[in-house]
C-alpha cells in the first residue's frame, strides 16, 4: 500500500528544492489540525533527522537516507522510531521539470500567481502499510501550502524592487516564540530571509539577540533591515483592572522604547528601514453596526480602542526618524494551533457548536497564512505604511461563522450561547469589548496595493486549515 501525490508548480525544481532545505520548512508543511509539533528539524536532507512530538509523550523520528538524495531533485526519509516504524514508512520527494503531459495529468497549484520561468512536477511517494485515504488530506494540504508560500515570496520580491543587496532581508522579530511569531519566523526563513529572534534571556545562538524592553540597545539592530514587533501580553482574559494594566504596559511602553531604539539606529546609519508593529481592529470599537470600516474610519470607543490608538502612537519615534512604519491591524486569526479557532474546533467537532448571543455581531477574520502574507507585504512593499487592516475581504456575522464552521466539519450547530455566559467568564467589559464585539472591517489599503489573498472566503479557509479540502 502507499500513496503518490503530484502537482505542478510554476517554479523551477531547484527553487522548490532550496525551499525545503531552509529552517521552518517542516513546520510550514505540518498540517495544523494534527496534534503534532516539531521538536527538531533535519540539519541535512541527505542524512539528518527530524523529530516530532505526538500526544501521550510519543516521539516520531524520521531519518533522511543518503541513498535517495540527489541535490536539487530528490530526498528520502524513513521513520525509525517504534511503534511507528511498524508502518514501514518511507517517504520520497521528487522535483523535476514539468512537461505538457505531466501538466495534463496533475493539479496546477499556482494559485493564480506565476512565480518564475518554467514549471516543476512535485511528487510525494509514500511506501507504507497505512491506507492512502488516511494520507491524502495531509499531502493535499502540503502541496497547497508549498504553492502558496512560493507564490507569496515571489510576489514580495516583485513589489520590493530593491535589488539583490536588500533582498532577501535580515528581519528581527520580537515575540517570536508566540503563536504568530513562530509561524512568521518559519515563513520568512523558508523564503530565504535571515530571521533574528529578539529574546529577553541570554541568546542561545547567532540567530538570537537579547532585547531589553526597558531600554533596547541600538546595537541590537546592526545589519538588520526590518523589525517586526509582536510581543505583548494576551488580550483575551477577564477584563479586570490588573489584566488591563498588564495588556497596556506590555504594549505601549515597550513599543515606544523599541521604536526609539530603531530611530537611534537609523540615525546612526546602520539601522532598519522598516518597522512593522502588531495592532488590532479593536481600534474601531465594539459597537454593533453594519458600517464597513476602513483604515480611514475614525477610532471607536472603549478600552481596546484607546489601547490601540496609544499602541500605534508609540511607534511614532521610528516614523519621525524616516523609518517606514506599518501598524498591522489584525482581526480574528484562524488556525487550529492558536486563537479563536483552536478554542472552537474541538467544541464544534464534538457537535456542540453554537452561535454567541444573537449572532448579529460581525467577525472580521483572517487565516493564519494570509496574515503571514500581509506581514511579508508590509515588509516588502514600499507603498505600505501606517495602519493596515489585516482581515479577509469577506467578513461574516457570528451566525454565518457558526453555520460555515459546522458545515465544514459536518456537524450540527443547533444552539445559542447566552450573552450572559461570556460576561460571567470575561466580565461585562471583557464580553462587550472582546467576545461580543462587532467590527465589519475591510482591507482597503491591501486591495489598493493589489494584494492577493490565498483564502478570501471563509469556507475555503476553514477547509484548508482543517484538512477538509482535497486538491
Average pLDDT of every residue of the chain:
92
The packing angle between helices 398-408 and 339-349, to 10°, is 60
Radius of gyration over every alpha carbon of the chain, rounded to an integer in angstroms: 23
Residue 106: is its pLDDT beyond 60? no
Average pLDDT of the residues in 214-221: 77
pLDDT (tens digit per residue) in 246-282 = 999 999 999 999 999 999 999 888 889 999 999 999 9
pLDDT for 253 equals 95
Assess contact for 281 and 330: CB atoms under 8 A.
yes
Give the span between the Cα atoms of 323 and 20, in whole angstroms: 33
Nearest C-alpha neighbor of 157 from the set 113, 195, 124: 113
Q: List residues bridging with 396 in a β-sheet.
A: 363
pLDDT for 162 equals 65
Give the span between the Cα atoms of 397 and 439, in whole angstroms: 10
Q: Is 226 or 81 the better-scoring residue by pLDDT?
A: 226
Residue 115: is its pLDDT beyond 60? no
pLDDT for 438 equals 96
Domain positions in the chain are 2-159, 164-465
Backbone angles phi, psi at 168, to 5 degrees: -60, 165
Nearest C-alpha neighbor of 147 from the set 42, 44, 5, 51: 5
pLDDT for 311 equals 98
Angle at 119 between CA 113 and CA 120, to 5 degrees: 120
Backbone angles phi, psi at 90, to 5 degrees: -135, 120
Reported as a pLDDT band with limits 50, 70 and 90, residue 215 is confident
Q: Where are the alpha helices (DSSP H) in 167-322?
A: 179-190, 241-249, 252-267, 303-313, 316-320
pLDDT for 270 equals 80
Beta carbons within 8 Å of 23's beta carbon, 6+ residues apart? 41, 186, 189, 190
Backbone angles phi, psi at 294, to 5 degrees: -125, 180
The packing angle between helices 368-380 and 136-160, to 10°, is 20
Q: Which of 16-20, 25-29, 111-115, 188-192 has the lowest mean pLDDT?
A: 111-115
pLDDT for 2 equals 81
pLDDT for 430 equals 87
Give the span between the Cα atoms of 319 and 59, in whole angstroms: 47
Average pLDDT of the residues in 140-169: 90
Residue 105: is its pLDDT beyond 60? no
pLDDT for 258 equals 94
Kind and range of the H or E element at 417?
strand 415-417
- % the chain with pLDDT above 90: 79
Residue 118: is its pLDDT beyond 70? no
What is the SS3 assignment for 290-327? CCCECCCCCCCCCHHHHHHHHHHHCCHHHHHCCCEEEE
pLDDT (tens digit per residue) in 446-464 = 999 999 999 999 999 999 9
Letter string b/e over residues 13-40, b meaning 16 or more CB atoms within 10 A of that residue's CB: bebbbebbebebbbbbbbbbbbeeebee
Residue 322: is its pLDDT beyond 90? yes
Give the span between the Cα atoms of 169 and 163, in whole angstroms: 11
Q: Where are the beta strands (DSSP E) in 20-148?
A: 37-40, 49-53, 59-64, 74-79, 90-97, 107-108, 120-127
pLDDT (tens digit per residue) in 364-411 = 999 999 999 999 999 999 999 999 999 999 999 999 999 999 999 999
Nearest C-alpha neighbor of 418 from the set 361, 357, 362, 355: 357
Residue 113: is its pLDDT beyond 50? no
Residue 326: is its pLDDT beyond 80? yes
Q: Which of 131-135, 138-142, 345-349, 408-412 has the lowest mean pLDDT?
A: 131-135
Kind and range of the H or E element at 5?
strand 2-9
Reported as a pLDDT band with limits 50, 70 and 90, residue 422 is confident
Q: Is 339 or 374 the better-scoring residue by pLDDT?
A: 374
Reported as a pLDDT band with limits 50, 70 and 90, residue 164 is low
Letter string b/e over residues 369-404, b meaning 16 or more CB atoms within 10 A of that residue's CB: bbbbbbbbbbbbbeebbebbbbbbbbbbbbbbbbbb
Average pLDDT of the residues in 190-210: 93
pLDDT for 108 equals 55
> Coil, strand, or helix at residue 418?
coil
**Fold classified for 2-159:** Alpha-D-Glucose-1,6-Bisphosphate; Chain A, domain 4 (3.30.530)
pLDDT for 107 equals 60
Backbone angles phi, psi at 454, to 5 degrees: -65, -45
pLDDT (tens digit per residue) in 40-85 = 999 999 999 999 999 999 999 999 999 999 999 999 999 988 877 7
Give the span between the Cα atoms of 145 and 346, in whole angstroms: 23
Residue 231: is its pLDDT beyond 80? yes
Residue 103: is its pLDDT beyond 70? no
Q: Around Cβ 135, how many Cβ atoms within 10 Å?
A: 18
pLDDT for 246 equals 96
Q: Superfamily for 164-465?
A: NAD(P)-binding Rossmann-like Domain (3.40.50.720)
pLDDT for 114 equals 41
Amino acid at each position: 500500500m502507499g500513496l503518490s501525490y503530484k502537482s505542478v508548480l510554476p517554479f523551477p525544481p531547484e527553487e522548490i528544492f532550496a525551499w525545503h532545505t531552509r529552517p521552518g520548512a517542516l513546520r510550514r508543511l505540518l498540517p495544523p489540525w494534527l496534534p503534532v509539533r516539531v521538536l527538531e528539524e533535519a540539519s541535512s536532507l541527505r542524512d539528518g533527522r527530524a523529530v516530532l512530538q505526538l500526544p501521550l509523550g510519543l516521539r516520531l523520528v524520521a531519518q533522511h537516507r543518503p541513498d535517495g538524495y540527489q541535490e536539487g531533485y530528490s530526498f528520502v526519509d524513513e521513520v525509525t522510531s517504534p511503534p511507528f516504524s511498524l508502518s514501514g514508512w518511507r517517504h520520497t520527494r521528487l522535483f523535476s521539470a514539468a512537461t505538457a503531459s505531466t501538466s495534463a495529468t496533475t493539479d496546477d497549484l499556482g494559485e493564480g500567481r506565476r512565480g518564475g520561468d518554467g514549471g516543476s512536477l512535485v511528487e510525494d511517494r509514500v511506501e507504507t502499510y497505512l491506507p492512502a485515504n488516511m494520507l491524502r488530506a495531509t499531502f493535499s494540504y502540503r502541496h497547497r501550502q508549498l504553492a502558496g508560500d512560493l507564490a507569496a515570496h515571489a510576489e514580495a520580491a516583485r513589489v520590493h524592487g530593491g535589488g539583490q543587496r536588500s533582498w532577501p532581508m535580515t528581519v528581527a522579530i520580537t515575540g517570536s516564540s508566540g503563536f504568530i511569531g513562530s509561524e512568521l519566523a518559519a515563513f520568512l526563513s523558508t523564503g530565504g530571509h535571515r530571521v533574528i529572534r529578539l529574546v529577553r534571556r541570554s541568546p542561545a545562538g547567532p540567530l538570537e539577540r537579547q532585547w531589553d524592553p526597558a531600554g533596547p540597545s541600538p546595537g541590537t539592530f546592526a545589519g538588520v533591515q526590518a523589525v517586526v514587533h509582536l510581543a505583548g501580553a494576551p488580550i483575551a482574559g477577564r477584563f479586570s483592572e490588573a489584566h488591563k494594566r498588564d495588556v497596556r504596559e506590555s504594549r505601549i511602553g515597550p513599543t515606544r522604547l523599541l521604536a526609539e531604539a530603531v530611530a537611534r539606529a537609523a540615525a546612526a546609519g546602520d539601522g532598519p528601514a522598516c518597522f512593522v508593529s502588531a495592532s488590532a481592529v479593536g481600534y474601531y470599537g465594539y459597537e454593533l453596526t453594519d458600517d464597513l470600516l476602513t483604515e480611514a474610519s475614525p477610532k471607536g470607543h472603549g478600552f481596546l480602542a484607546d489601547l490601540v490608538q496609544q499602541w500605534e502612537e508609540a511607534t511614532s519615534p521610528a516614523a519621525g526618524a524616516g523609518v517606514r512604519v506599518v501598524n498591522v491591524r489584525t482581526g480574528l486569526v484562524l488556525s487550529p494551533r492558536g486563537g479563536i479557532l483552536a478554542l472552537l474546533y474541538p467544541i464544534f467537532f464534538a457537535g456542540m457548536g453554537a452561535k454567541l448571543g444573537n449572532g448579529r455581531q460581525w467577525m472580521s477574520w483572517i487565516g493564519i497564512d494570509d496574515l503571514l502574507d500581509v506581514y511579508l507585504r508590509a515588509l516588502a512593499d514600499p507603498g505600505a505604511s501606517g495602519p493596515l487592516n489585516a482581515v479577509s475581504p469577506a467578513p461574516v456575522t457570528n451566525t454565518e461563522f457558526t453555520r460555515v464552521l459546522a458545515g465544514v466539519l459536518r456537524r450540527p450547530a443547533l444552539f445559542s450561547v447566552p450573552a450572559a455566559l461570556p460576561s460571567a467568564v470575561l466580565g461585562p467589559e471583557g464580553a462587550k469589548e472582546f467576545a461580543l464585539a462587532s467590527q465589519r472591517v475591510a482591507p482597503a489599503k491591501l486591495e489598493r496595493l493589489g494584494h492577493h489573498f490565498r483564502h478570501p472566503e471563509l469556507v475555503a479557509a476553514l477547509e484548508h486549515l482543517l484538512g477538509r479540502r482535497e486538491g
